[in-house]
Amino acid sequence: MAPMANATPTDQVRKFAAEQFGDEPIWLRNRRNRLLEVYLAAPLPVRQRTSLKSRKLDRIPIGSAPTAADLPDDLQNLYQVANLITVNGHTKHLSVPTTWSDQGVILLPMTQAVNTAPQLIEEYLGTVVNDEADKFQALNSALWQDGIFLYVPARVTLDHPITVTHFGSSDVSNVLPRSLVVLDEEARATIIEQYLSEPGREKSLWAIATEIVLKDGAHLQYGAMQQLAVTAESFVRRGAQIGRDAHIYWSLGEFGSSLSIAEHTSLLSAPGGQSDSTTVFFGSETQHQDYVSVAKHVAPHTTSRMVARGVMKDDSRSVFTGVTEIKKGALGTDGRQKEKILMLSDTARADVIPSLLIEENDVFAAHAASAGPVDAASIFYLMSRGLSEAEAIRMVVHGFLATVIDAIPVDVLRHNVWNAVERKIAE
Amino acid sequence: MATDRQSLVNEEYQYGFNDGDIGVLKFNRGLNRGTVEEISRIKKEPKWMLDFRLHALDVFFKKPMPRWGGNLDTLNFDDIIYYVKPSENQGRTWDEVPQAIKDTFDRLGIPEAERKFLAGVSAQYESEVVYHSIRKDLQEQGIIFTDTDSALREYPEILREYFGTIIPPEDNKFAALNSAVWSGGSFVYIPKGVHCDVPLQAYFRINSQNMGQFERTLIIAEEGSFGHYVEGCTAPIYSSESLHSAVVEIIVKDEARMRYTTVQNWAPNVYNLVTKRAVAYKNATMEWVDGNIGSKLTMKYPSVYLLGEGARGMVLSIAVAGKAQHQDTGAKMIHAARNTTSTIVSKSISQHGGKTTYRGLVHFAQGADNSKSNVKCDTLIMDELSTSDTIPYSEVADSNVEMEHEATVTKVSEEQLFYLTSRGLSEEEATRLIVMGFIEPFTRELPMEFAVEMNRLIKFEMEGAIG
């Protein structure tokens, strides 16, 4: 297949990369250059249920120098005890509790970590997600900008959640955050990544990648909130490699962006590993959302739980593909999925594909999926108690999402998700 | 892989009968325009059918091989004989049927079954219906039950009105192939308001090495009618690939109800690539009861297009995959009208290294208000060599619908085994009992003699599943 046309001439993209990353270590520059060629040569990704052709992604300029911008006032409350704020892919603010450094915790913007902790970056970068998986992943891996780098030494528990906020201004054409999280043995941490942007006059392209490595017995609570503006088109790829008796909790909220394509994978590669994944999505207007959640059981006695709740409004369209994969030799594994969709509109569309791919017999795998309307009897009951129809629908949506949102273990994230839901209902 | 298949083929296949080759007229291997013209000429078909076949052949050549589902790499279209005719004339009475074929039917128990249960036997032997009888009272009710070739001669208007309208050649590569070279199959017409109380039964067999079976079945249930069509297959074992590619089209008109029951037990070298589709109009009910045992690869997804308000669809299926076998089966329900309901129950068993795939689709079109669908898929994996995939697609384009889907994949419960063995059963007996219980929702829907055969087959398939 022919490579996708680009708005920016190939040589100009190469020149941009050479200038932008000239100060980086040679191994990293080589890596970027190799993946840049992969990006340039790659065709537009083909997704079975999402047509990318009509979206004119090739009209978005690549590799233009980002403009300086300030964080809007209403986002000032994002400053937390431990956090990183990036604007247009560049670090604007970083705060780390001093006690953490004493414990050997490394919390840095990625571009800085490349110089401060080069061995760790070289050891783990690109080992969890496949950087050649498709064109936009290759774009991220070639031109990635600041995300968070976190290393937590063995048996250290971080006493505050880390919040990472990625903000895009109205004139930015692409934002490419890259994060790497390594939790050593029995370490504990909580991270929340948020993605926000101002609506622009032109479209912007977000290609986001986060890699997570959990050593034996480590626990990570990872939350992500995507609330990009309608002019954003986003591609997200996340992966976690889960060690012996390690445990990841994914809590993902997907609300913004006109096109949102996101995949996250738990690779259960050692016995006793666990993955709990919750995805909440809410589509409105003409949003198109295409999510893939994967639990890949390679080692015996691993456990996965995958939950998704989606609310579909207006003319929105969503695809949720759950994949529970149990490989040969993964004896005694237990993989379960549950997907539920609430349809608020006749012109919305939701596809659910909860698949189980099983190569072993001493296992338990199950899925349950359902889709349905707002229960008319509930609405009638609520209205008979004096609520307006809109208010009644709002309460039903709340009830539908409450069991999963209230189970989100991090206060900040839980509140943010509820606020996002409120905004979507009111839209 | 090669040695596996070889040893498999050398074992005696207990439920297959091979009477040697008795075909009278046999084509050369391979497919071209001449083959299709010759088939049509021998059958003395009208020009419209020849044109239909030739058009379908073009479509077949143009369509690429499907890249999803099972592995079709070893399927060679040039190595297949596309038409075999066993005897010059159609057997009108039992006496005219060749003795070798009668012997096979004896072993299958057809004459016995006929006396007891059957309304008509349409026995497909080597691509052509050789024996065919309709009980007198069916004729008196105006029910037509004949092979499709005869229907083309005797009921050309009815056939032409519906033929290829539910599954056009453009639908998929194998439907195109069938449309080009079809032979045999059943034609059923049940007039308005007529209830056909006895099952209409047809036996199919493949009995010639490398011979393709391309039967074509068309069933029309007029308004308010009822019918139950039953089809069963047993096939003798052969050492090279065999292709079975049928097309079944069913039209269920307002207030009518149709049930189509199949139990297929193909030899482990058969590719079974079948397109089955029904349309159900207002308040009509279409039920597929589908059992797939054996074959090298089966790709079959019986579907119901619920086009009329209040239409109902059901698919009840089991798939059993043994050594070197892949059952890629499922169901499709397309809800295109208000108040439509559908149910899918799928039971899969994989053992001795077999693979089962449930691949299904439930689609709610915009405007399918107040429609409901319930899907339940359960899989038993009997040993560590066997695998299973469950891939259900749900598409919802209307807010006022209810879709529910559940699936489980497990091994035989150790708790149940322990309980049964503590009551004095051997592990093998206990396992068999659990498996029988697992597929019971299916077997209880079968006609009695099928249920008996089914249980026998499962028992046979289960042997050696322990340890």
Residue B78 to residue B259: CA distance in whole angstroms: 36
**Region of poorest pLDDT, from A182-191, A238-247, B65-74, B154-163:** B65-74
Contact A79, A93 (CB under 8 A): yes
A31-55 as b/e: b if 16+ CB within 10 A: bbeebbebbbebebbeeeebebeeb
pLDDT bin (cut points 50, 70, 90) of residue B198 is: confident
- Taking the CA of residue B43 and the nearest CA in chain A, the distance in Å comes to 43
Query: What pLDDT sits at residue B137?
Result: 74
Contact B70, B328 (CB under 8 A): yes
Inform me whether the pLDDT recorded for B131 exceeds 50: no
Inform me whether the pLDDT recorded for B205 exceeds 80: no
Quick check: B405 and A357 CB within 8 A?
no
A chain contacts of residue B399, beta-carbon cutoff 8 Å: 312, 343-346, 348, 373-374
B chain contacts of residue A375, beta-carbon cutoff 8 Å: none
**Strands B186-190 and B216-221, how do they pair?**
parallel
Query: What pLDDT sits at residue B302?
Result: 97
Share of chain A above pLDDT 70, in %: 97
Determine whether A198 is exposed, middle or buried from the number of CB atoms within 10 Å of its CB (0-12, 13-18, 19+).
Answer: middle
Domain boundaries, chain A: 10-270, 375-427
Which DSSP helix (H) or strand (E) runs through B221? strand B216-221
B96 DSSP 8-state letter: G
ipTM over 0.90 threshold: no
Q: Which of A327, A358, A375 to mutate to test the interface with B (most CBs of B within 10 A)?
A: A358
Strand partners, B26: B84
Strand partners, A248: A220, A275
- Give how far Cα B308 sits from Cα of A63, B212, B287, Å: 55, 36, 15
Residue A329 to residue B190: CA distance in whole angstroms: 54
Domain boundaries, chain B: 2-300, 415-467
B chain contacts of residue A366, beta-carbon cutoff 8 Å: 406-409
Helices (H), B332-447: 414-422, 427-443
pLDDT digit string, tens, across residues A334-363? 999 999 999 999 899 999 999 999 999 899
pLDDT bin (cut points 50, 70, 90) of residue A80 is: confident
CB-closest option in A352, A363, A373 to B409: A363
- Please state the separation of Cα B301 from the chain's center in Å: 9
**Strands B186-190 and B144-147, how do they pair?**
antiparallel
Inform me whether the pLDDT recorded for B130 exceeds 60: no
Quick check: A367 and B405 CB within 8 A?
yes
Share of chain B above pLDDT 70, in %: 76
**Region of poorest pLDDT, from A145-154, A369-378, B218-227, B370-379:** A369-378
Query: What pLDDT sits at residue A51?
Result: 87
B462: Cα within 13 Å, side-chain hemisphere: 20
pLDDT digit string, tens, across residues B340-365? 999 999 999 999 999 999 999 999 99
The pTM assigned to this predicted structure is 0.85
Quick check: B407 and A367 CB within 8 A?
yes
Give the N- to C-terminal CA distance of chain A in Å, as an integer.
Answer: 41
| Residue entry with tokens 């999926």 | A369
